[in-house]
Chains A and B, each alone.
Chain A
Amino acid sequence: MKFGGVTALNDVTFDVKKQEILGLIGPNGAGKTTVFNVITGVYQITSGEISFDGNSLAGVKRYRITQRGIARTFQNIRLWGDMTALENVLTATDTHKKSGLVSGLFGLPVSRREEKRDKARAQELLDFIGIGEYADRLAKNLPYGVQRRLEIARAMGAEPKLLLLDEPAAGFNPAEKVELAATIRKIRDAGYTVLLIEHDMSLVMKVSDRVVVLDFGQKIADDSPRNVQDDPRVIEAYLGVPEDAS
């Protein structure tokens, strides 16, 4: 992935296995969010390949990628503030609706049925994430922690197979982080595959089944959390090398 003369990602190859939590870490500017943007179609790759379920995602429209089963959260919260929490999730569930504008206008049975089904589903997701009581509040009026969790619920509303979480714990206190770790595991156990970007190492190491480390747009490690922690290249990327060693 290149932006003009800047190579943001170079030779980054990894795969995500079904029902695993894959942690994606790296120092600031390593290209983690760029990976997300490439997967979800925000950026078109300049070379290389991305495939999902055996189909290439190159050149696929962004909403179609979501329809195929990839949904994400945003590092800087991007909820639709003037909609309620429930409507935020409901909008994502619309991804898989068959009924569109015309059947909605005339209140055809298919539209009503889907509307009812998805409302129940959206509420279920909010409860699952633990913010069910906020369903009827406007998203912009919700406390910060709830907004972060609503981002996850909204992404799950699109019924993805692969859920991309972009720093879901940013700004959380330690207690909230523990809670979040449990939630992420719960999501995996519910059958989702999770790709997680996170700066908080203890959280990543605790929940991930496997960790990929990026540095300056290149993959420098891909292993179990334990091995990654001991990898000298990873330590070097994060802490630098003592002068006498080099």
Chain B
Amino acid sequence: MINLRDKGAEIWERQGRLGRIGIAVGGVAMAAALPFMGGTILNTPIADYESVLVYPIAMYVLMAIGLNIVIGKSGLLDLGYVAFFAIGAYTMGLLGTKTSLNTWEILPIGIAMAMFSGIILGVPALKLRGDYLAIITLGFGEIVRIVALNLGALGRSEGIQGIPTPPGIFGIEYAFDSHRIYFWTLLILILLAIWMVRRLSVRRAGRAWESIRQDEDAAELLGVPTFKYKVWAFVLGASVGGAAGVFYASKTLFIAPDNFTLQISILILACVVFWRYGKYLGCNSRSGNSWLPTGSNSFLIRRPSARVRLGVGNHDESSS
């Protein structure tokens, strides 16, 4: 069987600088052109193609990149990633309806809140390893959902309604049904997240994560402050999840605890695993040779089928 991933890596490897830029630009252009591809055929009774591109596809890709820092790079099994998504979304919901702040102003606040909760979870939990860490994070994901379900200020099971859409920026208007605009905005967020991960991969942090994943004791004995970098992995992973959450709330206008179930954590985990522990994101810090652009595209394109396979179509109803 031909392995497309390795084939792609090989092609990327052979290119010079110009060729790689070409592939990268081509890849991004292809991703950006997705809304124009095959619209009518792929529409289903419950969701139209373009809105599916925004949620779940682009949203999940973004979160998978975040979770990949934690699982793919550092090897920390986090089963409660949805918590950060929820925290971002509730920050948007609460501040968006109760204050006059708009989405762009809330975005950094939501990211900060998620990062902070990453520290709250990470500092006690990361003293544990392996299965124990997985159980704790699983619990954290549930705690956040159940708190939202029981806290009056967060609307209990009714959730928060009437969350404002993002205001226009640079002359681009965000109507609630202009899916393409949302998709492209998410694409920018995705590219930013990829930039962050790739940047770190070839530096000290990337090596620290990589060494922790492969042999944590050896890493510690050779001078890697493992605990600190594990917390950083959690915090950065959380920041991406928080950003996705803010944007999600602002797009769907309505959030409730039911949107943040364990199922999402598992789904994002599945994305990372399908992605084979994130080799794509320059995770093998090896001379920065990752061929991410092609990787993310095939991922974007593959996603719909993965969605069907995992039977998660029901989430579309709340988004469209």
Contact = CB atoms under 8 A, between A and B. Distances in A.
* A pairs with B: yes
Interface of A: 40-42, 62-63, 66-67, 71-72, 74, 78-84, 87, 90-92, 94-97, 99-101, 104-105, 107, 111, 115, 136, 138, 154-155, 157-158
Given A101-B232, A104-B204, A63 B199 contact: no
Contacts, number: 99
B215 A94 contact: no
Contact size class for B? 20 to 34
A92 B218 CA distance: 10
Nearest to B226: A63
Contacts of A94: 204, 207-208, 223-224
Contacts of B219: 80, 91
Contacts of A42: 217, 221
A154 B217 CA distance: 14
A83 B211 contact: yes
B221 A62 contact: yes
A40 B224 contact: no
Contacts of B210: 80, 82-83, 87, 91
Given A62-B220, A80-B211, A101 B225 contact: no
Nearest to A97: B204
Given A71-B222, A94-B207, A105 B196 contact: yes
B210 to A, nearest CB: 6
Contacts of B226: 63
A87 B223 contact: no
B204 A99 contact: yes
Contact of B222 (A95, A100, A104): A95
B178 interface: no
Q: Select the residue from B199, B220, B232, B284 with max chain A CB neighbours within 10 A.
A: B220
B77 to A, nearest CB: 18
Given A84-B286, A104-B199, 13 more contacts: A63-B224, A63-B225, A66-B221, A81-B214, A83-B285, A91-B207, A94-B208, A95-B223, A96-B223, A101-B229, A115-B203, A154-B222, A157-B222
B214 A136 contact: no
A74 B204 contact: no
Contact of B215 (A66, A80, A92, A107): A80
B187 to A, nearest CB: 21
B200 interface: yes
A80 B214 contact: yes
Contact of B205 (A72, A101, A155): A101
A67 B223 contact: yes
Given A80-B215, A101-B200, A63 B223 contact: yes
20 contacts: A42-B221, A63-B225, A72-B221, A78-B215, A80-B211, A82-B210, A83-B210, A83-B285, A91-B210, A94-B223, A94-B224, A96-B223, A101-B204, A105-B203, A105-B205, A115-B203, A138-B286, A154-B222, A158-B222, A158-B223
